[in-house]
Amino acid sequence: MVAETVGTAFLLATIVGSGIMAERLSGGNEALALFCNSTATGAILVVLISVFGQVSGAHLNPAVTLAFAVRREIGAALALGYVVSQVTGAVLGTWAAHVMFDQSVLQLSTKARAGSGLWFAEALATFGLILTIFGTQRWKADMVPTTVGLYIGRRPIGSRRPRASPTLRLPSHGASPIPSPEYNRRTRLPS
């Protein structure tokens, strides 16, 4: 649980912090701000999944945890603990970014993020993330950190700006688990 909390906190601190920094430095160029935010997010995912993958699976995202629970690769109690840890880490990471950039710790986003197109984009991005995780895990498990970082480092077509309140939108900012050596033996993947 600690790995999920700490990993998710670092992920959200990076997402929010790079979004704040990109908006400050991009001179109003939204494409540049999005590129900077996306690149930082993808890069930190490679690091976090590599660091925490063998500890907790580095889910870092309730949608990923749910996918593993549905496949019965983790039990309901562990899944619930992971989700609580992820939400806690997301809040702490967001607050940390606010403190780093001299912003009010508690704040509400003023950017409207609603509509059927956004929900469709989120569903599609989440499906793609889960597909990336399970597809890579099955055929080349040691590449999960890289493929997830690359997948998340790109932005779905419907995304136009860095997300300043990602704690409300975790499905598109997740990471994937790296199978443990025990999982590899069960599924005959190389350790």
Q: Tell me, what's the pLDDT at 179?
A: 39
Q: What's the confidence (pLDDT) of residue 144?
A: 92
Predicted local distance difference test score (pLDDT) of residue 92 = 96
The pLDDT of residue 100 is: 94
CATH number for the domain that contains residue 88: 1.20.1080.10
Domain of residue 74 covers 2-105+114-187
User: Total structural domains in the chain?
Assistant: 1
Cβ neighbours for 19, distance < 8 A, ≥ 6 positions apart: 33, 37, 162, 163, 164
pLDDT along the chain (191 residues), means of 10: 93 93 90 90 93 89 93 93 95 95 86 83 90 93 92 65 36 38 38 37
Number of H helices, E strands in the chain: 7, 0
How far apart, in whole angstroms, are the C-alpha atoms of residue 72 and residue 172? 22
Could you say which DSSP state residue 122 is in? H
